[in-house]
Chain A
Amino acid sequence: MRCEELQDLAPELALGTLDGHERAEALRHLATCGECRRLVDQLTTVADELLMRAPIHEPPAGFESRVIDALGFQQRPPRRQLGRRLLAWLGPPIAAAAVTAVALVGVYHDDHVTAERYRTTLEQANGKYFHAEPLRDATGTRAGVAFGYQGSPSWMLVTVDPAHRDQVASAELITRDQRTIRLPRFELEPNGSWGGAIPINLYDVSAIRLLGDRPGQVLEASTSPK
């Protein structure tokens, strides 16, 4: 990509509306061009300014405590209510994925067929559960999916969306007691996937992080069933 082409795309890159292919091409150019990086930084400041100009509006009473509950700092069950409300407005594709995930952890008791297949699958390799969560970047943008299997051995598979593949160089596991375990044999395939056995049980892992070469390039997914 030439500087002229990047400058054409820079406003949309700053606004976060470029499609995956163009975004990947633009980021590749920015990695080697300081002048274009400065332009994108300036336009990103404009995009940030637009967000800061949104109206300020107090949420309904009790919002703060509901958020604290949802974060899991207190042992109250409104998170289930949040889940139901989220499911109510999630569209068909996401809802289908969510329903699949819910069925996998056995919450949908009426889905006997899926549950039975899930149980049989796990028994083949002494597994306890299978889990999938989105990988997200620091802004919460979805960047791929992380799958985990609790069995003997436990393993993980990640798939990274094209726009984020250039930002992944290594990976680490974060344990429930906040230790960090590097995955020495991690290397993303050209199709954006990696999979392999992990050195500890999946239920001892709280998250997987994919790290880039530059500060702030982090994709993370929780590995804990809710």
Chain B
Amino acid sequence: MAGLAAGQTDAAAAFVRRFQARVYGLVITIVRDPGTAEDVAQETFVRAWRNAGTYDPRRGRVATWLLTIARNAAIDAMRARRPEPLDPEIVAARLQPAGGAVDESAPVHERAPVRDALAELPEPQRRALFLAAYAGRTAREIGELENAPVGTIKTRIRRAMSKLRDALETSHAL
């Protein structure tokens, strides 16, 4: 990160190599079009480079900081370009491919509870959660898409997040 902030070419290239598959994987899940995904992934690294000096390691891992930038860039692109929302079920299918979790960097015992909790979420909760987490939709927007009251959507998101939080705590306690 320091090398990226200092504008060193080698450091920037290493940084891109290390995270490009994660960034591109998240972005193409959201935007679905390879050409757009490449532009958005590229824009993600440009934004990261511009803001490298402001990255604060106390606020989280580099990967999640970068993926948050990628998610925001993808949402900007989606809102500008394509009015129809992404399909949460397609996202769910991609998140949990045959064989399980995709976060190879996490120890096996840390993956299972969260993966299982995601799989066990009732469909309405999972749809609301994914539309918020990946497509950046507000509860009001999700309510319009799902034809449900805002309060119902907020409850679905809250319950889903609560279950995942419990699963995460369980995985850390193992």
Contacts and interface: CB of A to CB of B under 8 A. Distances in A.
A, B from the same assembly: yes
Contacts of A46: 161, 164-165, 168
Nearest to B63: A52
B98 interface: no
A63 B39 contact: no
Given A53-B103, A70-B45, A89-B81, A138 B56 contact: yes
Given A59-B24, A141-B72, A42 B165 contact: yes
B80 A94 contact: yes
A63 B29 contact: no
A90 interface: yes
B138 A91 contact: no
B158 to A, nearest CB: 5
Contact of A12 (B53, B76, B132, B162): B132
A68 B12 contact: yes
A56 B46 CA distance: 20
A47 B17 contact: no
Contacts of A74: 9
Contacts of A53: 95, 101-103, 114-115, 118
Interface in B69-106: 69, 71-73, 76-77, 79-81, 94-95, 97, 101-106
Contacts of B20: 58-59, 63-64, 67
Given A55-B97, A57-B24, A89-B77, A67 B50 contact: no
A67 B79 contact: no
A187 interface: no
Contacts of B44: 140
A60 B38 contact: yes
B12 A17 contact: no
A218 B58 CA distance: 14
A43 B166 CA distance: 10
Closest A-B pairs by Cβ, 4 of them: A91-B80, A57-B25, A216-B56, A54-B26
Interface of A: 8, 11-12, 14-19, 42-60, 63-64, 66-68, 70-71, 73-74, 82, 85-86, 89-91, 93-95, 136, 138-142, 207, 209, 215-216, 218, 220, 222
22 contacts: A11-B158, A12-B132, A12-B154, A17-B132, A51-B64, A53-B101, A54-B22, A54-B29, A54-B134, A56-B21, A57-B24, A58-B21, A59-B21, A63-B16, A67-B46, A71-B12, A73-B7, A73-B12, A85-B35, A136-B50, A138-B51, A138-B65
Interface of B: 7, 9, 12-13, 16-17, 20-22, 24-26, 28-29, 34-39, 41-51, 53-56, 58-61, 63-65, 67-69, 71-73, 76-77, 79-81, 94-95, 97, 101-106, 114-115, 118, 129, 132-134, 136-139, 154, 157-158, 160-162, 164-165, 168-169
Given A53-B103, A68-B13, A220-B50, 12 more contacts: A15-B157, A49-B114, A50-B164, A51-B67, A52-B106, A60-B34, A64-B20, A73-B12, A82-B39, A91-B81, A94-B80, A216-B59
